[in-house]
Amino acid sequence: MDLINLSAHELNGFIKSKEVSVLDIAQDYAQRIESVDEKINAFITFDKNVFFSKAKEIDAYIRSGNEIFDFTGIPVAIKDNICTKGVRTTCASRILSSYISVYDATVIKKLNAQHFLMVGKANMDEFAMGSSNENSSFGAVRNPWNLDYVPGGSSGGPAASVAASEVPCSLGSDTGGSIRQPASLCGVVGMKPTYGRVSRYGLIAFASSLDQIGPFTRDIKDCAALLEAISGYDEFDSTSINTNVPRYKSFLNSDIKGMKVGIPKELMVKEIDLQVKESVENVLKMLEKSGAIVEEISLPSLEYALSVYYIIAPSEASSNLSRYDGVRYGYRNMDARTLREMYKKTRAEGFGPEVKRRIMIGTYCLSAGYYDAYYDKAQKVRTLIINDFKNAFSTYDVLISPTSPTTAFKIGDKVDDPLRMYLSDICTIPVNLAGIPAISLPAGISKTGLPIGVQVIGDLLREDNVLKIASAIESDVKWKIKPQI
Amino acid sequence: MENKTADLNNKYETVIGLETHVELSTETKMFCGCKLSFGEKPNTYTCPVCLGHPGSLPVVNKKAIESAVKIALALNCSISEHSIFHRKNYFYPDMPKNYQISQYDLPVGVGGYIDINMGNYVRKVKITRVHVEEDTGKLIHIGSTGRISEADYSIVDFNRAGTPLIEIVTDPDIKSPEEAKQYMITLRNTLLMLNVSDCSMEEGSIRSDANVSVKLTTTDKLGTRTEIKNLNSFKFLQKGLEYEVERQIDVLESGREVLQQTRHYDNKTQTTKVLRQKEEAHDYRYFPDPDLVPMKILPDWINEIKSALPELPGAREKRYKNSLGLSDYDSAFMANDFEISSYFEETLKHHNNAKSVCNWIMGDFSAFINKNQVTLKESKISPENLADLVKMIDRQEINSKIAKSVFEEMYDSGESPQEIILKKGLKQISDTGELEAIINEVILKNPDAVSQYKSGKVKAIGFLVGRIMAKTQGKANPQIVNEIIVKKLS
């Protein structure tokens, strides 16, 4: 059986019917990782022995007649900014290169309760800052569809590992598009839930008011299942929402007749690649054919989203990252002779250039005399963006746009031009600012053989609508080709 | 010299504002479930949250907010229904996150006041704000001087990190070091009555920084202020401020300018020294903590807390005066020190003679504890025992002279007055049969005094009574003795 090309729910079926053991699955995936990850570099930490002994443990659990949940024995890769007890969590940064967390993030606890099979810790842009996964102190991740191309970022490892069949699914985090953009560039499904739907406890913070953990999968059904598994109120996260978790799987294959789809013209910007535009338009035609009502709309304040984001996110980051000082854990420069020198050298040597750039931008924006003009103003514009979405959702069930203006770009292409790099997230950033849910799923393949993604955006806590539309799109455009590595 | 000082004191006015930090005595820390500790093994009362580990998040301790609301209400503040936490960003090794979660423009309480009884006048000190924050860890610098700049290395204990702190800031309404000290005493007693903090000065549970400046009496324009740190006792607070006021006047008198500085009070030299200049002031880059949602402090909850507030010193003083009939001075003395007041209240529960109990506490008891340098609470006399002693005097079971010696014995042994009286046979003799025998004997042995009395010298009876008291070691009930003698000699 070709286990590595099955989805999580298919694997789940075979585990339940006892046709395969978890160890069988682990062995096949380990073999796949060993044969391709040298090229992809999706993993920062993968320990085959730990992986196998965990698989055996789960097999024993199953043999004792215990309940088999959706993710019992399912291999899942975890982005390396999600804390895992006893397994190092590096954030792809030198400053945490040997940091081992003393606790499990809430999402890990939830998956552990289902006896999932953690594969390893997936590569990413350092502290989740980047759109190409080139900012990793553990080396760039390569796009499985073309190894000269980036997988997107910051969750490049989680996306590429799913695309390269190293895992059936993974967890990433999304602050400005860090799940959806790499999902788009790697041709997989990636979802950012409503802010507060999934606990952030144990997610190493980049920008606290924007960060959200979400799933990468091969199909919408797995996406719904994994979202269901990790969602829910957490008393350890004050920003988590205290409402019941719907049965997300139940919304798949729904009739979408009469559902209203808005196309924000501000997200169909001039920077959008022609092929990407065509793919999205094809998706819209198909939705109309299925009975959905598609209309172009305007959300004027989205024009400012990128500017607002690059004030709020670095501001929060500058404060969130100040704890990395060499005093309690992580990298410390041992030659420093004074406290100040230790701080300076530790941070100068521990952080990469993009992280430093954002710490400086954020520190500046929060400084006395600049706060009102930058941070405070940005918060006000953020409110306008939230209101624009609120207005749109009073009429429309979902909004649709490209996920990324382009397909994957070449490694090294944009590293020296941060502003061009930042434009990669122009369609995804407004969603984080508004705290609403959105998914990216495959919409086509470019002439050069690179995946194209489409983004479906829903109102607060309306993941159901997002999944309904995504499921309809998937049934139409799902392609059978796989990347050849 | 005396005159010169007096002249200068008339020429200048002192302006003081205080910032007081109070450690709350909640069960757990401000943003995590760790228990509060003091003097435990370093770094044992910690968790990922209070150690600032990556990925950990704060959750507000509701009990701490309740205490903050109590304090704000007791200080006559209005409570902000919408209150938020900010991050105060600065690097220091005792700060696990390198930012402190504190409050900035929306604190729990604003715009209050507290009346400070200065004996011959009352100073109303306005309270600018009452806000909640978290405490830092503790640094120990290993090296000859104990200062960070000269240390070989430093070690840090995070047990205290995350302890709930309340900051209480006054307007610049305090006009002298004495008023500052009295403010601290009154504030501390108020907090003790509220039962929100142990307010231990030695353990640093309550500590103040002072902003102080002097200005010419003839102008409204405030002078340049300095901030004084390390004023860790009532005495240091007063001494430190006295030194600083004098220093600032000297600077101005010599034609120089007072510089805006942060200064450190050194108790050894009783002087203040520069810690940092204004230019070195931090930019804390305050912004709302995105990990915490805005707090809604609802009117129902505020009213609930308000109705459960205990009687505060001001109200207590009035009650002592109006209901218990104590003098102004006595009322203030009994109401304005938490320990004395608690002792007084407890004693009254057992014997309701306020004036008498008050006299004992202010008189003999105070003299004893002052002499032995202990506190009321530390003394061996329980409120119940003191009540019993006063009760026995009121019932004329012992006279005041014996009471004093019983009190001494109580103070030394901690025994109850009943035990002591029984053990030493000090119970007053009121049995007329027993007394008559003694009186007869004294009359027989002192014919001179008897004849003097009979010839009209009424005073001679005092001599006879004295003889009887001596014979009974003071235990005879003097009133009954008097009655019997008069009857026998008439």
Residues of A in contact with B51 (CB under 8 A): 328
Whether A163 and A483 have beta carbons less than 8 Å apart is answered as: yes
Contact B51 A101 (CB under 8 A): no
Contact B290 A316 (CB under 8 A): yes
Closest-approach residue (CA) in chain A for B101: A319
Residue B266, strand partner residues: B271
pLDDT in tens, A198-244: 999 999 999 999 999 999 999 999 999 999 999 999 999 999 999 99
Residues of A in contact with B286 (CB under 8 A): 366, 371
Within 10 angstroms of residue A308's Cβ, the number of other Cβ atoms is: 24
N- to C-terminal Cα separation, chain B: 71
Max CA separation in chain A (angstroms) = 71
Residues of B in contact with A318 (CB under 8 A): 89, 285
Among the listed residues A193, A202, A422, the one whose alpha carbon sits nearest the alpha carbon of residue A314: A422
pLDDT in tens, A33-59: 999 999 999 999 999 999 999 999 999
Given a cut of 70, whether residue A480 has pLDDT beyond it is no
DSSP character for B337? S
SS3 A409: coil
Contact B51 A328 (CB under 8 A): yes
Rg (CA), chain A: 21
pLDDT of residue B378: 83
Closest Cβ opposite residue A339 in set B48, B59, B93: B93
Distance in Å, alpha carbon of A392 to nearest chain B alpha carbon: 26
pLDDT of residue B369: 84
Query: How many A-B residue pairs are in contact by the CB < 8 A criterion?
Result: 98
Going by their DSSP bridges, the two strands A293-297 and A260-264 should be labelled as: parallel
Which uninterrupted H or E stretch holds B385? helix B383-394
Distance in Å, alpha carbon of A207 to nearest chain B alpha carbon: 8
Question: For this structure, is A154 an active site residue?
Answer: yes
Q: Edge to edge, what strands does the sheet with B271-277 contain?
A: B78-79, B109-117, B122-134, B164-170, B12-23, B206-216, B226-231, B261-266, B271-277
Contact B52 A328 (CB under 8 A): yes
Distance CA B471, CA B435 (A): 11
Residues of A with CB under 8 A from a CB of B: 81-83, 89, 91, 96, 99, 101-103, 105, 200-205, 207-209, 235-239, 315-316, 318-319, 322-323, 325, 327-329, 339, 343, 363, 366-368, 371, 375
Distance in Å, alpha carbon of A69 to nearest chain B alpha carbon: 27
Distance CA B200, CA B189 (A): 11
Angle at the Cα of A346 from the Cα atoms of A356 and A343, rounded to 5 degrees? 95
Closest Cβ opposite residue B57 in set A102, A201, A363: A201
Cα→Cα distances A390→A18, A279, A397, A459, A467, Å? 48, 27, 11, 8, 19
pLDDT of residue B478: 76
Distance CA B372, CA B366 (A): 10
Helix runs in A142-273, H state only: 156-163, 180-186, 220-230
Contact B287 A99 (CB under 8 A): no
Handedness of CA B311, B313, B319, B324 (dihedral sign): positive
3-state per-residue secondary structure call for A43-97 = EEECCHHHHHHHHHHHHHHHHCCCCCCCCCCCEEEEECCECECCEECCCCCHHHC
Contact A343 B293 (CB under 8 A): no
Residue A452, strand partner residues: A444
What is the residue extent of each domain of chain B?
24-213+281-301, 311-424, 432-489
Distance in Å, alpha carbon of A368 to nearest chain B alpha carbon: 6
Residues of A in contact with B98 (CB under 8 A): 322-323, 325
Contact B55 A201 (CB under 8 A): yes
pLDDT in tens, A321-332: 999 999 999 999
pLDDT in tens, A110-137: 999 999 999 999 999 999 999 999 999 9
The identity of residue B272, as a single letter, is T
The identity of residue A169, as a single letter, is C
| Residue whose pair of structure tokens reads 């506190």 in the numeric block | B375
Q: How would you class B482 by CB atoms within 10 Å of its CB: exposed for 0-12, middle for 13-18, buried for 19 or more?
A: middle
Closest-approach residue (CA) in chain A for B88: A319
Residues of A in contact with B94 (CB under 8 A): none
Contact A238 B59 (CB under 8 A): yes
Tell me what the mean pLDDT of segment A430-449 comes to: 97
Percent of chain A with pLDDT over 90: 94
Q: Out of A21, A93, A131, A154, pick the active-site residue.
A: A154
Whether A236 and A106 have beta carbons less than 8 Å apart is answered as: yes
Contact B293 A322 (CB under 8 A): no
Residue of A81, A90, A365, A366 to mutate, interface with B, max B Cβ within 10 Å: A366
Question: pLDDT of chain B along its 490 residues, tens only?
Answer: 455 667 777 899 999 999 999 999 999 999 999 999 888 999 999 999 999 999 999 999 999 999 999 999 999 999 999 999 999 999 999 999 999 999 999 999 999 999 998 988 999 999 999 999 999 999 999 887 777 777 888 899 999 999 999 999 999 999 999 999 999 999 999 999 999 999 998 888 999 999 999 999 999 999 999 999 989 899 999 999 999 999 999 999 999 999 999 999 998 899 999 988 876 668 999 999 999 999 999 999 999 999 999 999 889 999 999 999 999 999 988 998 888 999 999 999 999 999 999 999 998 888 888 888 888 888 889 999 999 999 988 887 787 788 888 898 898 888 999 888 888 777 777 777 778 888 888 888 888 888 888 888 878 888 888 888 888 877 787 778 888 888 888 7
Please give the full DSSP string across B247-275, using - where no structure is assigned: HHHHHHHTT-----EEEEEETTTTEEEEE
Q: Going from the N-terminus, what domains does chain A have, and what CATH number goes with each?
A: 3-260 (3.90.1300.10)
pLDDT of residue B1: 46
Q: Of B141 and A32, which is predicted with more confidence?
A: A32
Mean of the per-residue pLDDT values for chain A? 96
Contact A239 B148 (CB under 8 A): no
Which uninterrupted H or E stretch holds A25? helix A22-40
Q: Out of A178, A279, A401, A404, pick the active-site residue.
A: A178
Tokens of B20: 């007081």
Q: Rounded to 5 degrees, what are φ and ψ at A262?
A: -100, 140
Residues of A in contact with B290 (CB under 8 A): 207-209, 239, 316
Whether A264 and A303 have beta carbons less than 8 Å apart is answered as: no
Residues of A in contact with B61 (CB under 8 A): none
Residues of B with CB under 8 A from a CB of A: 48, 51-60, 87, 89, 91, 93, 96-99, 148, 154, 156, 283, 285-287, 290-293
Given a cut of 90, whether residue A101 has pLDDT beyond it is yes
Q: Rounded to 5 degrees, what are φ and ψ at A80?
A: -80, 20
Distance CA A397, CA B389 (A): 83
Within 10 angstroms of residue A146's Cβ, the number of other Cβ atoms is: 18
- Long-range contacts made by residues B151-160, C-beta under 8 angstroms, separation at least 24? B154/A339, B154/B93, B155/B42, B156/A327, B156/B93, B156/B94, B157/B42, B157/B43, B158/B42, B158/B43, B158/B46, B158/B50, B158/B51, B158/B96, B159/B37, B159/B40, B159/B42, B159/B43, B159/B44, B159/B45, B159/B46, B160/B37, B160/B135, B160/B136
Tokens of B319: 């009650």
SS3 A296: strand
Residue A134: HSE in the Cβ half-sphere, 13 Å Cα cutoff: 20
Contact A319 B91 (CB under 8 A): no
Contact B59 A236 (CB under 8 A): yes
The fold of the B432-489 domain, in CATH, is: Arc Repressor Mutant, subunit A (1.10.10)
pLDDT of residue B4: 65
Contact A328 B54 (CB under 8 A): no
Angle at the Cα of A75 from the Cα atoms of A243 and A94, rounded to 5 degrees? 90
Closest Cβ opposite residue B55 in set A83, A325, A375: A83
Residues of B in contact with A366 (CB under 8 A): 89, 285-287
Distance CA B169, CA B110 (A): 9
Closest-approach residue (CA) in chain A for B61: A238
Distance in Å, alpha carbon of A439 to nearest chain B alpha carbon: 24
The identity of residue A211, as a single letter, is D
Distance CA A30, CA A15 (A): 18
Question: For this structure, is A79 an active site residue?
Answer: yes
Please give the full DSSP string across B119-152, using - where no structure is assigned: SS-EEEEEEEEEEEEE---EEEEESSS--GGG-S
Residues of B in contact with A240 (CB under 8 A): none
Contact A319 B99 (CB under 8 A): yes
Contact A103 B53 (CB under 8 A): yes
Helix runs in B254-372, H state only: 299-307, 313-322, 328-335, 338-350, 354-360, 366-372
SS3 B284: coil
Distance CA B192, CA B183 (A): 14
CA B179 to chain CA centroid, Å, is 15
pLDDT of residue B279: 64
Question: For this structure, is A161 an active site residue?
Answer: no
DSSP character for A323? G
Residue A214, strand partner residues: A172
Whether A22 and A52 have beta carbons less than 8 Å apart is answered as: no
Q: Out of A7, A21, A54, A79, pick the active-site residue.
A: A79
Percent of chain B with pLDDT over 90: 63
pLDDT of residue B249: 95
Within 10 angstroms of residue B422's Cβ, the number of other Cβ atoms is: 12
Contact A366 B156 (CB under 8 A): no
Closest-approach residue (CA) in chain B for A364: B285
Residues of A in contact with B60 (CB under 8 A): 238
